[in-house]
């Protein structure tokens, strides 16, 4: 395994460990089957995507490793990513506390539906990565970058965010928490904030993006917005 592979594997391991801490520590127990199933679905999805990129698009894998507020170059995106990180962590903490204090009673069928949504969201993200090698973890325009208008980009301008929203909607359900759905609201607001800023950046720096925006009218949901 080369340096990129080791770095990717280490980053993935630390991320899954952090998710486990966010889920089991506030819950005060490891007897939380919904969290174990969620970690399995989440972990296998991320491993599958990582292995695909390591084999087929290492440049994109390297771009995806550099994420978070510190990696952003635009000040506005640093702020957005800080809020996004807080909302993302809250998406796990609230269901975990819900498990501890038994605030919710979510049927198993809804939990399974949540896991299906998580897997579906990751599948959409996989399709985005397969179609667009320039989908970096930060907002930037790479040398030679072109507008991608095929695959999921033919339906909406920001399919990766759409997939992320599907995954985030399924997360509290998969974790057995109705109350966790409350965090979907600020998470959606942060994503909308980010994509609006991203579009302004792309209009200024990516040739052809204005024409693409005029052709594909919807940002996240076909026929809706």
> Rounded to the nearest 10 degrees, how much is the dihedral formed by the CA atoms of 141, 163, 208, 189?
-80
What's the pLDDT score for residue 82?
84
Nearest to 177 by CA among 105, 87, 93: 105
Q: What is the pTM of this model?
A: 0.88
25-55 pLDDT tens trace: 999 999 999 999 999 999 999 999 988 888 8
Q: What is the set of domains in the chain, with CATH numbers?
A: 3-215 (1.20.120.1630)
CB atoms near residue 157 (< 10 Å): 24
161-214 pLDDT tens trace: 999 999 999 999 999 999 999 999 999 988 888 888 888 888 888 888 899 888
């Amino acid at each position: 395994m080369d340096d990129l592979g080791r770095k990717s594997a280490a980053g993935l391991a630390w991320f899954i460990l952090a998710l486990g801490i966010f889920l089991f520590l506030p819950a005060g127990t490891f007897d939380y089957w919904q969290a174990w199933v969620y970690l399995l679905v989440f972990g296998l999805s991320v491993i599958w995507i990582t292995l695909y990129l390591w084999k087929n698009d290492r440049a994109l894998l390297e771009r995806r490793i550099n994420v978070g507020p510190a990696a952003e170059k635009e000040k506005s995106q640093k702020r957005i990513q800080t809020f996004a990180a807080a909302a993302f962590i809250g998406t796990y903490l609230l269901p975990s506390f819900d498990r501890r204090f038994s605030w919710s009673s979510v049927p198993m069928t809804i939990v399974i539906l949540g896991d299906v949504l998580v897997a579906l969201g990751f599948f959409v993200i996989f399709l985005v990565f397969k179609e667009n090698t320039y989908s970096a973890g930060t907002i930037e325009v790479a040398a030679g970058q072109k507008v991608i208008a095929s695959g999921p980009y033919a339906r909406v301008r920001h399919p990766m965010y759409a997939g992320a929203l599907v995954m985030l909607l399924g997360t509290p359900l998969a974790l057995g928490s109705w109350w966790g759905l409350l965090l979907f609201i600020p998470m959606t607001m942060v994503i909308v904030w980010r994509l609006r800023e991203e579009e302004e950046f792309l209009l200024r720096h990516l040739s052809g993006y204005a024409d693409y925006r005029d052709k594909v009218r919807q940002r996240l949901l076909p026929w809706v917005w």
